[in-house]
């Protein structure tokens, strides 16, 4: 029922209480699911049932500084008296003024935009809204626009007061419920993140048996591997040679949702260019000379699983374009085939080359680089994780003994000090080769000692380092500036060579040098050879 504009007294005494007290109207408000819906419903009911030109509920946001509207992003500063809402909030009292006066006296842009569609003969009535229980916190303001007689009838009407009280009570209750839900959701999100973090950490700890090391760099790498495994993004592994990119690729597959499907790997630098395309895409029978039967490529064999392309920086440009199409469309065509096939796989690529430099040199496609690098992982060099050398060395020793059927052996502190002092351009792979050699040179029942470690293969500070695997060659040099140190180095090299000659038999080495065994042991202790 629409309220007529005339006869305000009759409206006040008859229609208004009945309309505002009607059960359907109250139920409409009570059934509101949120404060936003409540404000919109309350304004719509007032506007439609009372014949108002406009009705709107504005809300005070959390800080208490701004009044906001649900219909747009306009906000009104509660301390800015260029709009009437500040007067109402500050005084706590209703305010009535004509649209014509408001246009002249108040110049707030947002408020003037509200007035723009209204007629100059209309009046504004703004009422402050506060919670009726608790600390009576501010909720917002109610804007009513209509003819003067209609608004006058509403001001002191008990039905309007009841409607306003119901609105404020429901608003306050919904705000508390929403706040509790938000707090509950925040708590739930925090618990979820905590549980996810604990789950990922547990998985990363499982990886520690395969990706060895407790250094900060390795712990971070294992976490990255777990996060990568949770996605289907293409992974680009970058790092120096010998850092374990193959192991990381297999770990990503092992902890992914594709773990039960195939893991196929190929080294792009190890296959001739003419054969690489056939290896990847396969070929149909008769596709080229010698193709006597059809052959599935690695892309087909890796369907549902993971394809690992090692040294992808060496892939020919023409093949890079075909690989990019597979990644973008999920389709490929074997050599000589007439129909395309689908490729459902996860790609992990690896390289030790600086691909950005390869792009500048036009040896690598930029679009493929960005497609491969959806989840980039950089593997740390051994120089960044020296704390892991002892654990790695012992693991390599254990692996050697199991592989070669040797009794368990350890490694002396002197040998470890030698390993810590070395440089490893070949990283973990070089360390493994050194330990394997030392294991092979160590007598049964003994621990790896410093004298069995192979010498450095590089020059240090411009001077060649004597290899203990070769006879000691003496040469006079004008570069010697510390005779004592030179003699100490020479003595150390001679003892190392002699121990190696006699397979670590210290008694025979001492006899061959014309020294008592105790003297040799003392010299080895001074030279950090750990001879006992």
**Positive or negative torsion for Cα 212, 215, 221, 223:** positive
Query: How far is the C-alpha of 27 from the C-alpha of 22, rounded, in Å?
Result: 9
Rounded CA-CA distance 348/20 in Å is 68
Please say whether the beta carbons of 175 and 28 come within 8 A: no
Q: Quick one: pLDDT at residue 192?
A: 59
Domain with CATH 1.10.8.60 in the chain: 384-526
CB-based contact 343:326 (threshold 8 Å): yes
Which residues have a Cβ under 8 Å from the Cβ of 95 and sit 6 or more positions away?
84, 87, 88, 124, 125, 126
CATH architecture for segment(s) 8-179: 2-Layer Sandwich (3.30)
Of 240, 246, 284, which is closest to residue 266 (Cα–Cα)? 246
What is residue 264's DSSP assignment? E
Using alpha carbons only, give the angle 363, 365, 369 rounded to the nearest 5 degrees: 120
Distance CA 239, CA 224 (A): 14
- Outline which parts of the chain fall under CATH 3.30.450.40: 8-179
The pLDDT score that the predictor gives to residue 382 is 93
Low-confidence spans in the chain with pLDDT less than 50: 1-22, 134, 457-475, 531-532
- CATH code of the domain made up of 384-526: 1.10.8.60
57 SS3 class: strand
Question: What is residue 12's predicted lDDT score, i.e. its pLDDT?
Answer: 38
C-alpha 360/C-alpha 367 separation (Å) is: 13
Give phi and psi for 223, each to the nearest 5: -65, -40
> Which tokens hold the place of 393?
């060395």
Q: Residue 124 in contact with residue 102, Cβ under 8 Å?
A: yes
Residue-level pLDDT at 368: 92
Rounded CA separation 333/277 (Å): 11
The angle formed by the CA atoms of residues 525, 531 and 532, to the nearest 5 degrees, is: 105
**Predicted local confidence at residue 483, as pLDDT:** 66
CA atoms of 52 and 362, how far apart (whole Å): 71
Spatial separation of the C-alpha atoms in residues 435 and 416, rounded to whole Å: 10
- Find the Cα–Cα–Cα–Cα dihedral 212, 213, 217, 219, rounded to 10°: 80
CB 35 within 8 A of CB 69: no
Reduced to 3 states (helix: H, G, I; strand: E, B; else coil), residue 98 is: strand
Fold of 216-380: Rossmann fold (3.40.50)
pLDDT (0 to 100) of residue 246: 93
Domain boundaries for CATH 3.40.50.300 within the chain: 216-380
pLDDT of residue 196: 64
């Amino acid at each position: 029922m629409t309220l007529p504009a005339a006869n305000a007294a009759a409206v006040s005494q008859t229609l208004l209480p009945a309309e505002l007290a009607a059960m359907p109207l109250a139920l409409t408000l009570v059934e509101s699911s949120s404060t936003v819906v409540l404000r919109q419903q309350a304004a719509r009911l007032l506007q439609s049932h009372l014949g108002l030109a406009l009705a709107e509920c504005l809300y005070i946001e959390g800080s208490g500084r701004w009044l906001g509207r649900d219909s747009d992003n306009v906000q009104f500063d509660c301390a800015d008296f260029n709009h009437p809402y500040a007067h109402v909030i500050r005084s706590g009292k209703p305010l009535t003024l004509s649209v014509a006066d408001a246009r002249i006296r108040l110049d707030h842009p947002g408020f003037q935009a509200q007035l723009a569609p209204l007629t100059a003969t209309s009046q504004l009535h703004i009422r402050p809204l506060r919670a009726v229980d608790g600390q009576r916190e501010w909720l917002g303001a109610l804007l009513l626009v209509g003819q003067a007689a209609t608004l006058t009838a509403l001001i002191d009407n008990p039905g309007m007061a009841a409607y306003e009280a119901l609105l404020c009570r429901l608003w306050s209750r919904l705000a508390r419920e929403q706040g509790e839900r938000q707090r509950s959701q925040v708590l739930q999100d925090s618990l979820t993140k905590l549980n996810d973090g604990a789950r990922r950490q547990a998985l990363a700890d499982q990886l520690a048996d395969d990706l060895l090391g407790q250094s900060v760099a390795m712990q971070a790498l294992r976490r990255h591997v777990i996060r990568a495994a949770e996605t289907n993004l293409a992974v680009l592994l970058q790092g120096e040679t010998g850092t374990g990119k193959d192991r990381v690729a297999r770990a990503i597959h092992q902890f992914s949702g594709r773990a039960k499907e195939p893991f196929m790997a190929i080294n792009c630098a190890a296959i001739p260019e003419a054969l690489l395309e056939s290896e990847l895409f396969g070929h149909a029978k008769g596709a080229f000379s010698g193709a006597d039967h059809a052959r599935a490529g690695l892309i087909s064999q890796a369907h549902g699983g993971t394809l690992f392309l090692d040294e992808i920086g060496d892939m020919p440009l023409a093949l890079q374009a075909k690989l990019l199409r597979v990644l973008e469309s999920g389709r490929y065509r074997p050599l000589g085939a007439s129909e395309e096939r689908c490729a459902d796989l996860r790609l992990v690529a690896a390289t030790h080359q600086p691909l950005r430099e390869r792009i500048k040199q036009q040896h690598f496609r930029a679009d493929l680089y960005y497609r491969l690098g959806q989840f980039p992982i950089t593997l740390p060099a051994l120089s960044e994780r020296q704390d892991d050398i002892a654990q790695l060395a012992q693991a390599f020793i254990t692996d050697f003994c199991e592989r070669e059927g040797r009794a368990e052996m350890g490694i002396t502190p002197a040998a470890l000090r030698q390993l810590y002092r070395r440089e490893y351009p070949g990283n973990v792979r070089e360390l493994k080769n050194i330990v394997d050699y030392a294991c092979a040179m160590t007598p049964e029942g003994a621990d790896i000692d410093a004298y069995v470690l192979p010498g450095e293969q590089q020059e240090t500070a411009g001077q060649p380092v004597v290899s203990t695997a070769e006879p000691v060659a003496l040469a006079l040099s004008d570069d010697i500036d510390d005779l004592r140190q030179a003699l100490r180095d020479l003595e150390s090299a001679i003892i190392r060579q002699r121990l190696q000659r006699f397979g670590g038999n210290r008694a025979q080495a001492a006899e061959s040098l014309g020294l008592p065994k105790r003297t040799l042991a003392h010299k080895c202790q001074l030279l950090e050879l750990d001879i006992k």
